[in-house]
Amino acid sequence: MKSIKIIFSIPFLAAVIFLGNLSAQGVNYNGTSSANFLKIGMGAKYVASAESDLSLSEDASSLFFNPGTISRIGGNSSVFSYSTWLVQTNLTSFAAVLPFSFLTAGLDIIYFSSGNIDETTLYKQDGTGRVISANDLSLGLTIAKNLTDRFSVGVKVKYVREQLASVNADAFAFDIGSVFETSFLNNMKIGISLSNFGGTMKFNGNELLVTYVVPGSPTGKQIPAVLETKQWDLPLVFKIGVSTEIYKNENFRWCGSYLINDTRDYLTRHNLGTSITLMNILTLRGGYRLNYDETTFSAGFGFVVPAEVFGKIFFDYAFTDFGKLSNIHQLTLAVNF
């Protein structure tokens, strides 16, 4: 058992060393990652508490932020989530969890869409008459297991694809996560995750085919050419957080959570969140993010409906204040059975 724990601790230690070395070198990696839609929080429960509770394991939306939590759900779960995003873009996601006797499996899909975009160029800034779009996709498969009654781990492999007009890039990546439940501070939980550890992305496609006119050629000689694009790393993200029940009785539960978010392409960030559950039906959530550019405050609510055919149906909503930019709304529907 100790050897298994050590194996799953190695990636987390490597992430700490790697991200620490980047900070020590004083290198600015802002804007050097591809597929940045992977850093957008999915699941209204998680987002409403400012993405601060890494140990949350109530439904299949846990797949989006910590694959090590899904073995703690205790049954089948499926979830659908829709989120508005900046400049009239949106994200749609689906996740499902299926437990087996020896492990728990999960599937999740995230799709980002820009909608229709009127194309403009340097020479036609009022538009070319052409309509294009940008779309991103993440498809993940996860396995997780409770190694003890307090310690669970999970690994996700995912395919990531970005497309803009007729150019696209893709890569494979891994997410690794774990949750440990302590025996102090009301069984405080410690969650750890390393996300988007994988290859690089490089755009290819018809949009990169150009015709080069040779300068000074008396005949205006033209040469077919292909524009070369650079490879970009995926947004490696390391998170560690704690959560616990501050107070609980038969009809009232108050929880708090705190998370440290360390990414390859930004300074360390901090997330604080809390939730209050009444009568085991209605939950009110709120949270705040520190050291972010624009996004700060989040809030939301959710309620659970017991069903005869299904075990539980969850409805959740999250609101995020994005400062000078448009506010974000997210809706999630989950079914546990």
**pLDDT value for 206:** 83
Tell me how crowded residue 246 is: count the other CB atoms within 10 A of its CB: 13
Please give the structure tokens belonging to residue 48.
Answer: 């409403």
pTM, two decimals, is: 0.85
pLDDT at 208 over 70: yes
Q: How far apart, in whole angstroms, are the C-alpha atoms of residue 81 and residue 60?
A: 11
Following DSSP, what letter does each residue of 124-170 receive, concatenated?
-TT--S-EE-EEEEEEEEEEEEESSSSEEEEEEEEEEEEEETTEEEE
Give the range of the structural domain holding residue 115, as residue numbers without chain letter.
Answer: 2-121+128-238
Give, as one character, the DSSP assignment of residue 47.
Answer: H
**Position 60 in a domain:** yes
State how far the alpha carbon of 3 is from the alpha carbons of 145, 189, 190, in Å: 15, 22, 20
Please give the structure tokens belonging to residue 122.
Answer: 């340097």
**Cβ atoms of 332 and 44 closer than 8 Å:** yes
Provide the CB-side half-sphere exposure for 173 (13 A, CA). Answer: 26
Please name every residue paired with 168 in a beta bridge, in sequence order, or none if there are none.
163, 204
**Position 277 in a domain:** no
Count structural domains, the chain: 1
Query: Residue range 278-288: average pLDDT?
Result: 95
**Position 98 in a domain:** yes
Q: How far apart, in whole angstroms, are the C-alpha atoms of residue 153 and residue 23?
A: 28
**pLDDT value for 125:** 84
Maximum Cα–Cα distance across the chain:
88
Name the pLDDT band for 87 (thresholds 50, 70, 90). confident
Is the model more confident about 212 or about 194? 194
Closest by CA position to 273, among listed 335, 191, 334 = 191
**pLDDT value for 289:** 95
What average pLDDT does the structure give for the chain? Answer: 87
**Position 287 in a domain:** no
**Position 24 in a domain:** yes
Give me the count of residues in the chain.
Answer: 337
Element (H, E) at 10: helix 2-25
**Position 256 in a domain:** no
**Position 170 in a domain:** yes
**Position 288 in a domain:** no
Following DSSP, what letter does each residue of 248-299 receive, concatenated?
E-SSEEEEEEEEEEEETTS--EEEEEEEEEETTTEEEEEEEEES-SS--EEE
Q: What is the pLDDT of residues 286-331, one digit of tens each?
A: 999 999 888 899 999 999 988 776 788 999 999 999 888 889 999 9
